[in-house]
Structure formats: structure tokens, C-alpha cells
Amino acid sequence: MPDLPPNVVRTPDARFDGLPEWPFAPQYLWADLPGLDGPLRLHVVDEGPRGAAETVLMLHGEPSWSYLYRRMIPPVVAAGHRAVAFDFPGFGRSDKPTRTSAYTYELFRAALLDVVRQLDLRNVTLVVQDWGGLMGLPAAALDVPDRIARLVVMNTFLPTGRERPTLGFKVWKASVRVLGRHLPIGALMRIALPARQAPFVQGYTAPFPSARHKAGAATWPLLVPSDPSDPVAEVMVRARAALAMWDKPCLLVWSASDPILGGAWKTFERLVPTAAAPTFVRGGHFLQDASGAEIADHVVAFMDAASSA
């Protein structure tokens, strides 16, 4: 087992003991990623039969982790599929570089592609939300299209730096810029989740026992391109061009009450030729938390329909 690289911390396992609705045993991969002085340990949830014909890969965003998909994984597995979710560097049970400069778009991109290739995921239904979309959709369209069978797109965007951000995103980005590593993740999740979901805030704060563990959460929102000259914007432009020619099935599942991305479904409905009108669910930005089982049912039905077409 490799040593922990310099300037990297690991959340103690005890922080994850007894989390509500989280029965999944941790599994880990080691990845050599750009800009680091050694391999990172990446946490993966890998449930269901390894030899299943269909795999559902679920990508989280900010400041969440695989815990966000706890209500989607069991129904997917019950339908006979393999369910995979992993934590990006700096989040969940994955290792966390302590320098904000370590967190680049290429770091996250390399981590995602490494997981896909190490697990040899094929015939994938890719489920993305928030930053999971900014990472997963370019990967699907540009890097590993041969491994992706269909897309499920939820409350995300592909910003090119030319759009006018919503007020909700402006406030969020400004807050992250000011608070940095002192971002009060627990308080933010209490605001974002419905009152009945309050017991699950513990799950979202578990990965972050100190400010040193929050460098990724303090950086990811700032990587959203606000100018067309941003290198990340160029990736988004190329991804949009590829998705405009996407000929595989695409399902939009959306929460319109999201104050940041509630209306972004219109972009994907226009952009992706195979995307129909969205299926709307409740839940605000973290729609998987409030409507995970319902979303999973939609995903399984979508897969069944696509497979029999």
C-alpha cells in the first residue's frame, strides 16, 4: 500500500461509522494523478454483479460525495445492474490534497478516466449532476464515448464563460471565495436540504473534519469558467459540439426548484438531439437526496426502454 503523498490528508474511517442509510463497504483504487507527488487513494462504491450487462456510473458534485446516491444504488442493483459511484479527489472517502493549487480540472478529469479504465466499465449509463456533469459529459463525449451507452443528465450545466450566471450561483461562488477552507458545509447542507432530511447532514459533513480537508470544496466552484478564454471553457465548448451530435439515448431528470440550475434543462433539451422533455422531481439542487428512489426507478425504466428499442 503506497504511503500518503506529501500535502495530502485522509479522513479517518471513524468519521464514516454509522452513517444513516449507508451500508456500503468502502473499496479503493490507487491513481497517479497530474500535479501530485504520489498516488492518491480514491474511494469507490461498486455494488451489484461485476459481470452485469449494464453498469450505472453516478458522479457527484460540490460539496457532496457518493453518499448523495445512497437511495439510488439499491434499486439499480435490485434491477440486476452494476452500480458504481466514486468520490472525486478532495471529497468523501478519497484522499484530499491540502493545497488548493492541486485542484485543477485536469486532476478531476484524470481521476474520473482512471476509475473508468481501472474498473473497465463498459455499456455505461452515466448519471451526472452539478460538477459531475462538468466532468462526466466531456468525458462521455470526448474521451470514452465507446464506453458510454446512454446519459442521464440532472441539474448541471456546461458553462462556456459566455453565459450570465444566475444570482444563486453568483452568491454561492462569492461565498466560497470569501470563506475558502472555512466553508460551513454543515450549515449549507441544512439550508439546501428539506427539513426532513436534517439527519443526513452528518453524512455530508463526515469527510471534512478540519479546514485542511476542505481545499477541494473551497476550489471546485472557482473552477467554473467565467470567461471564454478560460481553458476549462474550451473543454466545455468542445463537449457541447460533440453532444450536439450525440445519437445515443439521453434522459433529463430535473428539479426546477434548484436556485442555481433550475432552468438549465432548457440548454440540454435544445443541445442533445436525443434528449426529450425532462422528467421533473422534487428536491432542489440535491435532488438525489430527496428523490433518489424515484430517480432510480426512472433510470431503470429508461435503461430497459433503450435496451429493448
> Which CATH number fits the domain that encloses residue 260?
3.40.50.1820
Look at residue 7 in the predicted model and tell me its pLDDT.
Answer: 94
Q: Does 2 reside within a domain? A: no
Q: Does 18 reside within a domain? A: yes
Q: Examine residue 74 and say whether the peptide bond preceding it is cis (omega within 30 degrees of 0).
A: no
Kindly compute the dihedral angle of the four CA atoms of residues 165, 113, 180, 20, in this order, to the nearest 10 degrees: 100
Tally of CB atoms within 10 A around 51: 6
Q: Does 58 reside within a domain? A: yes
CA neighbours closer than 13 Å in the CB half-sphere of residue 244:
8
Q: What is the pLDDT of residues 99-139, one digit of tens each?
A: 999 999 999 999 999 999 999 999 999 999 999 999 999 99
130 a catalytic residue: yes
Residues 104, 231: contact at Cβ < 8 Å? no
Q: What is the mean pLDDT of the chain?
A: 95
285 a catalytic residue: yes
Residues 241, 114: contact at Cβ < 8 Å? no
The catalytically annotated residue of 87, 95, 258, 289 is 258
Q: Does 185 reside within a domain? A: yes
Domain, as residue range, for 273: 8-308
User: Cell 426529450 maps to which residue?
Assistant: 276
Averaged pLDDT for residues 61-88: 98
Averaged pLDDT for residues 42-65: 97
What pLDDT band is residue 94 in, cutting at 50, 70 and 90? very high
Q: Does 3 reside within a domain? A: no
Look at residue 308 in the predicted model and tell me its pLDDT.
Answer: 75
% of the chain beyond a pLDDT of 70: 99
The catalytically annotated residue of 285, 289, 298, 304 is 285
Look at residue 80 in the predicted model and tell me its pLDDT.
Answer: 97
Look at residue 145 in the predicted model and tell me its pLDDT.
Answer: 98
Q: Does 130 reside within a domain? A: yes
Q: DSSP string spanning the chain?
A: -PPPPTTEE---GGGGTT-TT--PPPEEEEE--TT-SSPEEEEEEEES-TT-S-EEEEE--TT--GGGGTTTHHHHHHTT-EEEEEPPTTSTTS-EES-GGG--HHHHHHHHHHHHHHTT--SEEEEEETHHHHHHHHIIIII-GGGEEEEEEES-----S-S---HHHHHHHHHHHHHGGG--HHHHHHHHS-GGGGGGHHHHHTT-SSGGGGHHHHHGGGGS--STTSHHHHHHHHHHHHHTT--S-EEEEE-TT-TTTTTTHHHHHHH-TTB-SPEE-S-TT-HHHHHHHHHHHHHHHHHHHHHH-
Look at residue 220 in the predicted model and tell me its pLDDT.
Answer: 96
User: What are the backbone angles phi and psi of residue 223, rounded to the nearest 5°?
Assistant: -85, -10
The catalytically annotated residue of 46, 87, 95, 130 is 130
Q: Does 282 reside within a domain? A: yes
Q: What is the pLDDT of residues 211-267, one digit of tens each?
A: 999 999 999 999 999 899 999 999 999 999 999 999 999 999 999 999 899 999 999
87 a catalytic residue: no
Q: Collect contacts of 22-30 with beta carbons under 8 A, ≥24 apart.
A: 22/67, 22/70, 22/203, 24/66, 24/70, 24/73, 26/93, 28/93, 29/86, 29/114, 29/115, 29/118, 29/119, 30/2
Integer distance in angstroms from the first to the last C-alpha of the chain? 46
* Predicted confidence (pLDDT) at residue 270 exceeds the cutoff of 80: yes
Q: What is the pLDDT of residues 159-200, one digit of tens each?
A: 999 998 888 888 888 888 998 899 999 988 988 887 778 889
Q: Distance (Å, rounded) from C-alpha 254 to C-alpha 136?
A: 17
Look at residue 119 in the predicted model and tell me its pLDDT.
Answer: 98
Give the number of domains in the chain: 1
Look at residue 269 in the predicted model and tell me its pLDDT.
Answer: 98
Q: How far is Cα of residue 103 from the mean position of the Cα atoms in its chain?
A: 15
Look at residue 195 in the predicted model and tell me its pLDDT.
Answer: 73
Q: Does 1 reside within a domain? A: no
Task: Say what the pTM is.
Answer: 0.97
* Predicted confidence (pLDDT) at residue 307 exceeds the cutoff of 80: no
What is the widest separation between alpha-carbon atoms in the chain? 51
